[in-house]
Amino acid sequence: MIKLMKINISLTFILLLSSIPYFSDAQSERWQQAVKYDMDVKMDVKNNQYHGSQVLEYTNNSPDTLSQVFFHLYYNAFQPNSMMDVRSRTIADPDRRVGDRISKLKQDEIGYLKINSLSLDGAELEFEHVGTILEVRLDEPILPHSTVVFESEFEGQVPLQVRRSGRDSQEGVRLSMSQWYPKMANYDEQGWHAQPYIGREFYGIFGDFDVKITIDKTYILGGTGYLQNANEIGYGYEEKGTEVKRPSGNELTWHFHAPKVHDFMWAADPKYTHDKIQMDNGITVHHLYIKGPKTQEVWEKLKEYTPKALDYLSERFGEYPYKQFSVIQGGDGGMEYPMSTLITGERPLNSLVGVMVHELVHSWFHGVLATNESLYPWMDEGFTSFASALTMEEIFAKKDESNTRSFTHSGSYQSYIRLTESGLEEPLSTHADHYHTNSAYSAASYSKGAVFLEQLGYLIGAGNRDKGMLRYWDTWQFKHPNVNDFIRVMEKESGLELDWYKEYWVYSTKTIDYGIKTVEANANSGTKITLERIGLMPMPIDLVITYKDGEQEMVYLPLVIQRGEKPLEEGMPSRVLTQRWAWTHTTTEVVLDRAKSDIKSIEIDPSGRMADVNRKNNRMEF
């Protein structure tokens, strides 16, 4: 066997890089608003109407004087001719769960949420209901760094279940109560976020919720928050061995407390079965579902998977910070809420575990990191899809040994490639409500967002990416990070410049296509390979050469603009050559020592992590 002569023209460059401390590690100091909700609600299960009072302590941590505030009144979306109704009917590819159903709701089926009175520090306020937003002008503004108290009385009607929230779901769950109370809109460094409810997801302010719900005694509840009066309620919540003493009367008041969350969901049904699973680490998992032929067996089996998923996610993405997680049958598919999720429950086991895992993963990206989902839906759904695929592989799927190319994130890559071919793609920076089609929103947020992370592993090394995810958690938990915050964490972790990656992948729809143009025998008995950038988005290249004698080697072509190299990755062939590539040059030449006749194949990125839209020109065989 001929020993390879290693060429390393960029050794000096590597040494230089590794000795420079490129980035400092300052903690984020961004201000954010704070809330403390105290709510008392009485639900009439006969007409599905409720009354409540709310005391909201609101702290303006911003440097700004606020002369107006906004509350979300989400249930008003479920009325004929609402923005959500019209949008759902007129979008090119309607969500079949919604379609024209809102337009057909009768008076006792619509949803509403009305404010009857509102005061600020005891002084009555004037306000206007504008669809799903309450606009409030303040005579006395809220000064920077001050805390005020809003007090309100509200009344609502639970809509017939159409989307996420509502009564009498298709699986017969009585009450799925999400987006049900007057919720202060968030104000941050980008100003107010008084989004009308059109259909997409949410953004809230972190704080404490203390919620008392008075409801028919036969109803069993679950949701966000720790039950404070478990021994008076029972239904499986009581401490072991306690004799439950319920107060007399036909109603019970359930008292929940949820610290450090940005929303509060609850669900209720008299037919719920309540399973309580105590984990070794002190976390309690609650499952609530209606027992029947389609649920009985699979929900029994689910008890094994929820704790496993919690453990795995805590290890990979940061420790779950609450003492409780509840998986509750309700809603219309799967939707995440702090410390809990509402999912449909009549599913085969793989689907039930899959949806539980997906919604549980949201506890990290939506629940705790709490990125603004309207502006950065892909940082929630995409990152969640990425982590769900890993979790499912770890706790559920037995990897198909016969398929050596099986790739955890192949679903996301395929969906992204289809999106690029569809002609419907819009940049990831598009506001979630403003995508032109549902399909472009979904493929971008879920799939292109997941590819963003797996491809980041290709750019900076999977090890750096994984450490970076934990660093992201440590730096930004409970702080609403944006895309720039994320990129900065990864820059610090890898020592590479990644602004270009953000700009191309997030703000544009430019695609990646690299190809092997020619392979020629060189005059000095070596081989000359010409590579070509065909797509408009530049990327670093892993070029792997396999020789007929079985030897494999890698030529690494980092971009000049990334200002460095990823480390050698586990399982990759050793690098014989590192050669920077300027993106302005559409072709580049690589010269190998060994003869062309020795080569069996040459391939660009055999790991498949670079989202090359045309892989046909990535490989040449001889």
484-511 per-residue burial string, b: 16 or more CB within 10 A, e: under 16: ebbbbbbbbbbbbbbeebbebbbeebeb
* H or E element at residue 386: helix 377-395
- Rounded to a whole number of angstroms, the minimum distance from the CB of residue 359 to Zn ion is 7
**CB distance 188 to 342 below 8 Å:** no
Q: 453 vs 576, which CB is nearer to Zn ion?
A: 453
CA gap 206, 59 in Å, rounded: 11
Q: How many residues bind Zn ion (CB under 5 A)?
A: 1
Q: 238 vs 381, which CB is nearer to Zn ion?
A: 381
Q: 70 vs 446, which CB is nearer to Zn ion?
A: 446
**Ramachandran angles phi, psi of 299, nearest 5°:** -75, -25
- Rounded to a whole number of angstroms, the minimum distance from the CB of residue 164 to Zn ion is 12
- Rounded to a whole number of angstroms, the minimum distance from the CB of residue 60 to Zn ion is 31
- Rounded to a whole number of angstroms, the minimum distance from the CB of residue 571 to Zn ion is 31
- Rounded to a whole number of angstroms, the minimum distance from the CB of residue 437 to Zn ion is 18
Q: 263 vs 381, which CB is nearer to Zn ion?
A: 381
Question: Near Zn ion by CB under 5 A, which window of 112-120, 374-382, 406-414, 425-433?
Answer: 374-382
- Rounded to a whole number of angstroms, the minimum distance from the CB of residue 544 to Zn ion is 35
**Cα first-last separation, the chain:** 20
- Tokens 């990831």 locate to 428
**CB distance 215 to 251 below 8 Å:** yes
Question: Near Zn ion by CB under 5 A, which window of 13-21, 42-50, 141-149, 381-389?
Answer: 381-389
Q: 342 vs 498, which CB is nearer to Zn ion?
A: 342
CA gap 335, 201 in Å, rounded: 10
Q: 381 vs 425, which CB is nearer to Zn ion?
A: 381
Q: 336 vs 565, which CB is nearer to Zn ion?
A: 336
Question: Near Zn ion by CB under 5 A, which window of 11-19, 324-332, 375-383, 583-591?
Answer: 375-383
- Rounded to a whole number of angstroms, the minimum distance from the CB of residue 380 to Zn ion is 7
**CB distance 35 to 69 below 8 Å:** no
**CB distance 277 to 287 below 8 Å:** yes
Burial (Cβ within 10 Å: 0-12, 13-18, ≥19) of residue 314: middle
Structure tokens at 225: 């928050």
Q: 194 vs 357, which CB is nearer to Zn ion?
A: 357
The alpha carbon of 601 is separated from its chain's Cα centroid by a whole number of angstroms, namely 39
**CB distance 183 to 204 below 8 Å:** yes
Within residues 390-429, the interface with Zn ion by CB under 5 A covers none
**Which residue minimizes CB distance to Zn ion?**
381
Question: Near Zn ion by CB under 5 A, which window of 104-112, 114-122, 379-387, 559-567?
Answer: 379-387
Question: Near Zn ion by CB under 5 A, which window of 113-121, 373-381, 388-396, 455-463?
Answer: 373-381
- Rounded to a whole number of angstroms, the minimum distance from the CB of residue 491 to Zn ion is 27
Binding site for Zn ion (CB under 5 A): 381
